[in-house]
Amino acid sequence: MLEVIRGPAYVLGDNIDTDQIIPAQYLIYNPAIPEEYRMLGKYALAGVPVAQAGLPQGYVPFHRSEDEFKASFPIIIAGRNFGCGSSREHAPIALNAAGVRVVVAEFFARIFYRNAVNGGYLIPFESVERLVEQIRTGDEVEIDVSHARLVNHSTGRTHALKPLGDIAPILAAGGLFAYARLAGLLPSAT
């Protein structure tokens, strides 16, 4: 998985739960239907409170307009316990539908982490240090996936991330089932 992902970061605080990532009223959309999958992207992070506490810049909207399906933030930087709450599989799907490719958090709720990896929706990196006070929404950042490193081009600072370890080949394959097929654990899809 030799990949570099670059773009503006979206910064969130601690304890962002799955109801904030994709509120329950939007679970009517089926991610298997392309038009409805797009709607999940449109409503990603619709439940984040406007008064997002603890962030240096305060609240910044994730979508530029109400008509936008994809946000312009491929990278989310978060605090502790990202994805807590219910076991809602739609949470990493909604972020993926909105164009998010990587979430960097101090640590993740385990069920969100597994859903992100199993579906191959997002790359979940854990940070070595608390980044939410060092990176601002809109900073141009680069994630070097194979070297587990974040470079903030807006400040010139480099930050180490915890290596992906055993999940790297699962993510590179596109999720758990794709990995199992590649490894010969499941018959190939025809």
Q: What is the CATH number of the domain that holds 114?
A: 3.20.19.10
Q: Say what the pLDDT of residue 52 is.
A: 57
Residue 60's domain spans which residues?
A: 4-182
Question: What is the arithmetic mean of pLDDT over 37-52?
Answer: 85
Question: What is the arithmetic mean of pLDDT over 142-149?
Answer: 97
CA distance 62 to 87: 23
| Residue 188 included in any domain | no
Contact 1, 14 (CB under 8 A): no
CA distance 50 to 83: 18
Q: Say what the pLDDT of residue 65 is.
A: 83
| Residue 163 included in any domain | yes
* pTM (two decimals): 0.92
Number of domains in the chain: 1
Contacts of 7 (CB under 8 A, 6+ apart): 72, 73, 74, 75, 140, 141
When the pLDDT of each residue in the chain is averaged and rounded to a whole number, the result is 91
| Residue 122 included in any domain | yes
Identify the weakest region by mean pLDDT among 47-56, 83-92, 163-172, 181-190. Answer: 47-56
| Residue 128 included in any domain | yes
Question: What is the arithmetic mean of pLDDT over 36-42?
Answer: 96
| Residue 190 included in any domain | no
| Residue 187 included in any domain | no
| Residue 15 included in any domain | yes
Q: Say what the pLDDT of residue 170 is.
A: 96
| Residue 97 included in any domain | yes
Contacts of 147 (CB under 8 A, 6+ apart): none
CA distance 47 to 85: 13
Residue 54 has pLDDT above 50, yes or no: no
Q: Say what the pLDDT of residue 188 is.
A: 81
